[in-house]
Structure 1
Amino acid sequence: MPIVGKLYIIGTPIGSIEDITYRAVKTLSEIQLLLCEDTRVTRKLYSHFNIPFPNKVLTYIEPREEKVIPQVLKELEKGTIVGLCSDSGMPCVSDPGYKLICEVLNNGYEIEVIPGCSAVDTALILSGLPTSSFTFKGFPPRKEGECKASLLQEKELPHTLIFFESPYRVSRFLSIALEVLGNRKCAVCFEMTKKFERIHRGYISEVLEKLKSDPLKGEVTVVIAGNHPKFIMPT
């Protein structure tokens, strides 16, 4: 029976390196071909846990997907054990991976997910906003008109909204959200699980004021309440 390759999707810490799972460490030590965003970041992870760095490594970022995917399929055909990881969190969640998974499955190979930390559910829980129903929107459009149109689609819906955003654009995004969605409760989560983790909670207008005196650096996740009177500032 021929040896069949397999693709592992490996979750890595979003901040504190201690959040990695035993299963992820074990899998990282067993894969023969590593796909990662930045080899410098992933090499630090290997070094911390004294894992030998794989001999075969490919940089897997969006501009290189079309070039790398055929190489991965050839390796799987040879029986290679392949692992995909992001710099932080789960691959495919605002990171490349979806196209690769589709091609791997379409070609008859197996995938296995090694679950790990996610900034989405971590921020949702930290926010103190409803967790029973939520929508993850990824990074909002940079153009103001497109951003407003995207938010307008969610304006009347009751579920909690979650976004990733650059620290340099988060105040601008919240200002647009305030205009489109109204003055709802929100939370801006910064450097989650790291030493300098900070969470700004309150109505959007209040959080905007806090950000003026406490500008953020690093990874930012924004959580905004859905359309419910309980979470909208009375006029």
Structure 2
Amino acid sequence: MQIQKSFKDTSGNGTLYLVPTPIGNMQDMTFRAVDTLKTVDLIASEDTRNTKKLLNYFEIDKPQESFHEHNASVKIPGMIEKLHDGLSIAQVSDAGLPSISDPGHDLVKVAIEENIPVVALPGASAGITALIASGISPQPHIFYGFLPRKKNQQIAFFQEKKSYPESQIFYESPFRVADTLGNMLEVYGDRQINLVRELTKIYEEYRRGTISEVLASIEEFPIKGECLIIVDGSDGLEKAESDFDSLSIKEEIESYIEDGDKTNAAIKKTAKRRQLTRQDVYKEYHEIED
């Protein structure tokens, strides 16, 4: 059990600040984030060259130390020592919230183990920013980040996730996005998605539609720039397609009910999957004759 007093720490340790940076538009930097970078003793940067552009833009003159996935294990002990000496450190990634797709999480874990305060600042997040403008249900949702690159691994990943009811958020390279959507279409079926590129930048674009529609648009207008994919959650019909084809209408409805659906919801699902009217399925289930 540990209780952290973020701004009333009396241990003498420094503080590890997790500072979000813009995902494209420099004006998305918060006042608090700028002030924090101006007051810390050291900035731990995923790429010091990228962070230097940010620091120059906001006229911040603070020392940086390279901190990325290839040197994290070597760098963490020294940073923890500095924090124990009372120095404050701001950890930043190249874009967005740190500690998600970079080694910041490892530093956070060790800092917590060492009773060093860890303070997160709110700010830009590509996945959530795209989600709320997608038109796809924002809650519940699951953020997955980058997908496996190899086709067989990606197919296996989608097979595991296809029945999840939550909206899903993925990052993907513009060079792989067409292949990824093809694999997704094969496993998920033709769901509603958003393909978002160049978020917060001048060429920001949302392509909203079914997977097949978005794939067709890529063939006509190829994707350039950083992109992410928002996918509608499962409505439960994927399971029906694979498991219920040999069942009668009544057996299919009862199977949905066993899985937790209410009777009316199960009837509606069955009607949709079989492309029948809800009234006909209702009569069949309740054995009502015309």
- TM-score, length-scaled by structure 1: 0.94
Partner in structure 1 of residue 44 of structure 2: 35
State the shift of 1:229 in Å.
7.7
Structure 2 Cα separation of the partners of residues 119 and 59 of structure 1: 23
Q: Partner of 2:145: helix, strand, or coil?
A: coil
Q: Confirm whether residue 198 of structure 1 aligns to residue 198 of structure 2.
A: no
**Alignment partner of 1:148 is 2:155:** yes
State the 1:228 CA deviation.
2.2
Task: Determine helix, strand or coil for the equivalent of 2:146.
Answer: coil
Aligned to 1:14: 23
Whether contact under 8 Å (2:19, 2:33) holds in the other structure is yes
Report the AA paired with residue 173 of structure 1. T
Partner Cα distance (1:60, 1:204) in 2? 38
Per-residue CA deviations over 1:213-233 (Å, capped at 9, x if unaligned) read: 222222111011111289xx9
Match status 1:113 vs 2:120:
yes
Rounded to whole Å, the distance in 1 between the matches of 2:236 and 2:13 is: 55
In 1, Cα distance between equivalents of 2:75 and 2:81 = 10
Q: Does 1:136 align with 2:143?
A: yes
CA contact (8 A) 2:83 2:89 kept: yes
Compare relative contact order (CA 8 Å, sep 6+) and give the higher one, 1 or 2: 1
Contact 1:58–1:68 at 8 Å: present in 2 too? no
**Is 1:47 aligned to residue 56 of structure 2?**
yes
Q: Say whether the 8 Å CA contact 2:24–2:95 is kept in structure 1.
A: yes
Q: What are structure 2's unaligned runs of at least 5 residues?
A: 1-9, 238-271, 276-290
Structure-2-length-normalised TM-score: 0.76
Deviations 1:50-90 (A, max 9, x none): 121x13x2111111110110110111121111010011100
Q: Tell me how far 1:2 sits from its aligned partner.
A: 6.6
Alignment partner of 2:94 out of 87, 96, 107 = 87
> Which residue among 219, 231, 235 is the counterpart of 1:224?
231
1:62-77 paired onto structure 2 within 5 Å: 62-77=69-84
Q: Which has the higher strand share?
A: 1
- Tell me the secondary structure at the aligned position of residue 81 of structure 2: helix
Structure 1, gaps ≥5 residues long: none
Show CA shifts across 1:74-113 (max 9, x none).
Answer: 1112111101001110012222211110001101111100
Count of aligned positions: 231
Distance 1:2 1:137, change over 3 A: closer
**What is the rounded CA distance, in whole Å, between the counterparts of 2:129 and 2:202 in structure 1?**
15
Amino acid at match of 1:203: T
Q: Tell me the amino acid that sits aligned with residue 109 of structure 2.
A: C
Q: Which residue of 2 aligns with 1:3?
A: 12
Q: What value does the CA root-mean-square deviation take over the aligned residues?
A: 1.8
- The aligned amino acid for 1:164 is Y
What CA distance in whole angstroms lies between the structure 2 residues aligned with 1:47 and 1:173?
A: 37
Tell which structure's C-alpha radius of gyration is larger: 2
